[in-house]
Amino acid sequence: MNAGSKRLSSMLLLVVGLAGFAAAQSSTEPAPAAAPTYLKCGWLFDGKSDQLHQNVVVAIEGETIKAVGDAPASGNVVDLSRETCLPGLIDTHTHVLLQGDITAADYDAQLLKQSPEYRTILATVNARRALMYGFTTIRDLETEGAGYADVDVKTAINNGVIPGPRMEVATRALDVTGAYPLVGYAPDVVVPHGVQVVDGADEARKAVREQISHGADWIKVYSDRSYFVRPDSVLDDIPTFTLDELHAIVDEAHRQRHKVASHAMALHGVHNSVEAGVDSIEHGNYVADEDLKTMASRGIFYVPTIYVGDYVAKGRAAAGAPVWLKMVAIHEDTFRRALKAGVKIAFGTDAGGFDWKVDPAKEFPYMVKWGMTPAQAIRAATSSAAELLNMSDKVGTIETGKLADIVAVPGDPLKDISILEQVDFVLKGGVVYKKP
């Protein structure tokens, strides 16, 4: 055997020996568990009660909550004794692939002048912003012309490639021919659309199957357009899908154990959506009393997205659509009637419809101004939102066995709800992303 062969033989023996040693170690000496982390919360809103609990210690082991109580903490302690701890916030209506679209020109510029790749890069920045604002879970309701990019953003977060909230995604959304931007271009000019255009029940059913096969968690439909206020102050509209089409979409989604979110802002869009059995009404500026009763009895959620309506109203009115100013007042009346009717309300902002540099927590003061208690508004963004997303077993409350998604603010949100715009501690899945 020459010298080279001897060296190779020795190296192989060393590798085999090390592999055997590693195997023996792994079989007889399991890796020690990570030491628990303890959050010392001055006050705690657990997502279930209307009251704050004082001087609570939350024990975190791995990515879950091990215990919630008043036992003295030792070891790895995070001192939040001057903070109020809350469950990680949940925004059930976002668009990480949008950068604000007050006017049609803003929207057209993003679809025509920004590549899907560039928009996806911006989406990763927006996802990080959402997490830093304290939103540890979001439902992103369509990519607005960027295909299935939301699935990739979600995957990158889940794989630890980028920081961001837990995501449920709706991919492309559905609408009918001639009803959704980009519109108004010459007939022979081919332009992208912000949705997947479908016509007819069979085509709609096929689109649902396609979107689910490519990673959609939710199916989103646009159920109305062209809003106008009638003399009796009812917000009217032109419905998009026929009832047959909507029934096909809902049936196919539910058959595959997926839910349907409906963009429905006015009389017919809401009514048709409720009749078809969707799972959430998005925006809902006007909802008839009978539809509110049906929503309450069937458990259909209302996601009002108040702030964005106020945000865009002035810009769109200046651009020639004054109806948006009237829609704000109609929306407040609807919100108050929905509360009184016992409709389930989940927090959603339409972030992306306004610039992501604006904290989506601005929604909370509007909800309180329009009739909710601060505790109701917080539950809308925690336990109620988790229920809408079928995630109540994982998030939405601070209790043993749930995922360790916890945020903290330097004050009492039950006295001043706007303090939720000052989240200074973010824990997601047991990992600290932001500290006071």
For residue 389, report the phi and psi dihedrals to the nearest 5 degrees.
-90, 5
| CATH code of the region 89-358 | 3.20.20.140
The residue whose two tokens read 């991919």 is 171
Q: CB within 8 A of 107, min separation 6: which ones?
A: 101, 144, 181, 182, 194
Per-residue pLDDT tens digits of the chain, which is 436 residues long: 444 443 334 433 333 343 343 333 333 444 455 678 999 999 999 999 899 999 999 999 999 999 999 876 677 999 999 999 999 999 999 999 999 987 788 899 999 999 999 999 999 999 999 999 999 999 999 999 999 999 999 999 999 999 999 999 999 999 999 999 999 999 999 999 999 999 999 999 999 999 999 999 999 999 999 999 999 999 999 999 999 999 999 999 999 999 999 999 999 999 999 999 999 999 999 999 999 999 999 999 999 999 999 888 877 777 777 888 899 999 999 999 999 999 999 999 999 999 999 999 999 999 999 999 999 999 999 999 999 999 999 999 999 999 999 999 999 999 999 999 999 999 999 999 999 8
C-alpha to C-alpha distance for 327 and 318, rounded to whole angstroms: 15
What is the per-residue pLDDT for 34?
Answer: 65
What is the per-residue pLDDT for 73?
Answer: 63
**Structure tokens given for 193:** 């659309």
Region of residue 333 (phi > 0: left; psi between -120 and 50: alpha; otherwise: beta): alpha
For residue 235, report the phi and psi dihedrals to the nearest 5 degrees.
-80, 115
As a three-state string, the secondary structure of the chain is CCHHHHHHHHHHHHHHHHHHHHHHHHHHCCCCCCCCEEEEEEEECCCCCCCCEEEEEEEEECCEEEEEECCCCCCEEEEEEEEEEEECEEEEEECCCCCCCCCHHHHHHHHHHCCHHHHHHHHHHHHHHHHHCCEEEEEECCCCCCCCHHHHHHHHHHCCCCCCCEEEECCCCEECCCCCCCCCCCCCCCCCCCCEECCCHHHHHHHHHHHHHCCCCEEEEECEEEEEECCCCCEEEEECCCHHHHHHHHHHHHHCCCEEEEEECCHHHHHHHHHHCCCEEEECCCCCHHHHHHHHHHCCEEECCHHHHHHHHHHHHHCCCCHHHHHHHHHHHHHHHHHHHCCCECCCCCECCECCCCCHHHHHHHHHHCCCCHHHHHHHCCHHHHHHCCCCCCCCCCCCCCECCEEEECCCCCCCHHHHHHCCEEEECCEEEECC
What is the per-residue pLDDT for 21?
Answer: 34
pTM: 0.91
C-alpha to C-alpha distance for 421 and 132, rounded to whole angstroms: 11
What is the per-residue pLDDT for 4?
Answer: 43
What is the per-residue pLDDT for 285?
Answer: 97
What is the per-residue pLDDT for 19?
Answer: 38
What is the per-residue pLDDT for 306?
Answer: 97
C-alpha to C-alpha distance for 186 and 172, rounded to whole angstroms: 24
C-alpha to C-alpha distance for 332 and 341, rounded to whole angstroms: 14
C-alpha to C-alpha distance for 89 and 379, rounded to whole angstroms: 9
- Report the CATH superfamily, name and number, of domain 37-87+401-406+410-434: Urease, subunit C, domain 1 (2.30.40.10)
Q: CB within 8 A of 416, min separation 6: which ones?
A: none
